[in-house]
């Protein structure tokens, strides 16, 4: 083997070993611990997002009840963004939990399981974005009332 091919062969072997190690089936105890940790992180992140949303609702209460359409529109958008953040935290947490659970599966099934988790996340994220976009459209419509 030439001097240039030896390092390449070593790198390829290391990469294959790393891939094989990444997709090995975890024990039930390892998976349960990882899932519990992901669930706790999700709960913490969602609770923080819910607290932030509550603050936004309180902070925008005056704007939401205002006679000024610009204020009402701003409140709609601010609240929609807070709802979006909650939805994204939930979706991200669900994906992480699902991916941890995938590690308990045989190596041959893990890729499909991870893709399913990613697809569910992508769908939840798209739904959250659609709701946000709809709220922004409502906000714009309300604010246009001020420009008549």
Q: 112-129: per-residue pLDDT in tens?
A: 999 999 999 999 999 999
pLDDT tens track, the chain, 148 positions: 555 555 555 555 544 444 444 568 889 899 999 999 999 999 999 999 999 999 999 999 999 999 999 999 999 999 999 999 999 999 999 999 999 999 999 999 999 999 999 999 999 999 999 999 999 999 999 999 866 6
For the chain, the domains span 27-147
Residue pair 95/118 in contact (Cβ under 8 Å)? The answer is: yes
Residue 87 tokens read as 């939805």
Residue identified by tokens 């083997």 is: 1
pTM over 0.85: no
CA distance 46 to 85: 9
Name which of 60, 148, 131 is nearest 90 in CA terms.
131
């Amino acid at each position: 083997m030439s001097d240039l091919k030896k390092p390449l062969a070593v790198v390829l072997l290391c990469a294959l070993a790393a891939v094989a190690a990444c997709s090995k089936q975890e024990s039930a105890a390892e998976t349960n611990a990882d899932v519990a940790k992901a669930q706790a992180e999700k709960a913490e992140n969602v609770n923080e997002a819910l607290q932030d949303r509550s603050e936004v609702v309180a902070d925008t209460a005056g704007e939401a009840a205002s006679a000024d359409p610009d204020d009402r529109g701003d409140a709609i958008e601010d609240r929609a963004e807070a709802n979006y953040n909650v939805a994204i935290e939930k979706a991200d947490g669900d994906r992480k939990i699902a991916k941890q659970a995938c590690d308990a599966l045989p190596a041959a099934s893990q890729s499909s399981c991870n893709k399913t988790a990613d697809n569910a996340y992508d769908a939840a994220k798209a739904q959250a974005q659609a709701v946000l976009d709809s709220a922004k459209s409502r906000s714009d419509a309300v604010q246009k009332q001020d420009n008549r």
